[in-house]
Amino acid sequence: MAKVDPSLVAHLPLFAGFSTEELGDLLREARSVRFAKNSAIFEEGEDAHTFFVLLHGHVRASKTTPSGEQVVVRYVSPGETFGVAMAIGLPNYPATATAVDDSVVLAWPASTWPRLVAKFPALATNTLQTIGSRLQETHTRVVEMSTQQVEQRVAHALLRLAKQSGRKVEHGVEIDFPISRQDIAQMTGTTLHTVSRILSGWESRGLIEGGRQRIVLREPHNLSVLAEAIQGEDVPPDRP
């Protein structure tokens, strides 16, 4: 637990439209907490006692099916909120959050939410925007899973990861946190075997450079070409 400098977080979408004093008010109620790499921040089903803003590091949100398979819901980047279950009326977390890297978060007790929202209405509208974009992204994912082949989906996933967490590196853009083939499989609805095969193929074509929990995009452009590959070039069957 530590004090947080308001100026460091003032630009985050969640705090848009807040004055310095208001921001101070808000931050006074938060604790700053550190989570070690691979530690759980909260578990699916646990009661949603806290909501978070990620300050540093990366967090994976995932859901587990009754039969034990995991699906990655999203990766959280610094500046984003997560664990806002109670804001949308859920008493329990709908997913598990794991720090994939050493991470630092701001944490508010969920019980403060109603009071904070009443005091700062912008909090509700800002959160609405955030949840709205996530809904959009998730719909995009559904559309991709419905219409595209595995290879294209993986390409899209990598490009998205690179955009949101890419670090420029000598020969391209590297995804800035440890990510396994298994993780990518769980993001795209396929198996680690298939992902491995696809990445191997791309690596031999020079599109990417792989490694243990590590991926570098060497030719993002050619990758996006691959991602948009058309399968049905003919006229779409319309509705009446």
Partner DNA sequence: CGCCGGTGTTGCGCCAGCGCAAACTTCCGC
Partner DNA sequence: GCGGAAGTTTGCGCTGGCGCAACACCGGCG
Catalog residues that contact a second copy under the rule CB under 8 A.
Answer: 38, 63-71, 73, 87-90, 94-95, 98, 117-118, 121, 124-125, 127-129, 131-136, 138-139, 141-143, 145-147, 186, 189, 228, 230-233, 235-237, 239-240
**Residue 68 in the binding site for DNA (CB under 7 A):** no
User: Smallest distance, Å, CB 124 to a second copy?
Assistant: 4
Residues 122-141, one symbol each (x = binds DNA by CB under 7 A, - = not), give --------------------
Task: Please give the torsion angle defined by the CA atoms of residues 135, 115, 112 and 132, in that order, rounded to the nearest 10 degrees.
Answer: 10
Question: Given the complex with a second copy, which of 87 and 216 has the nearer CB atom?
Answer: 87
For Cα atoms 173, 12, 215, give the angle at the middle one, nearest 5 degrees: 15
DSSP 57: S
Closest separation between CB of residue 212 and a second copy, Å? 14
Return d(Cα 66, Cα 53) in angstroms, integer: 29
Could you say which of 33, 71, 169, 192 contacts DNA (CB under 7 A)? Answer: 192
Q: Which residues contact 2 (CB under 8 A, 6 or more apart)?
A: 32
Q: In angstroms, rounded to a whole number, what is the distance separating the alpha carbons of residues 139 and 67?
A: 24
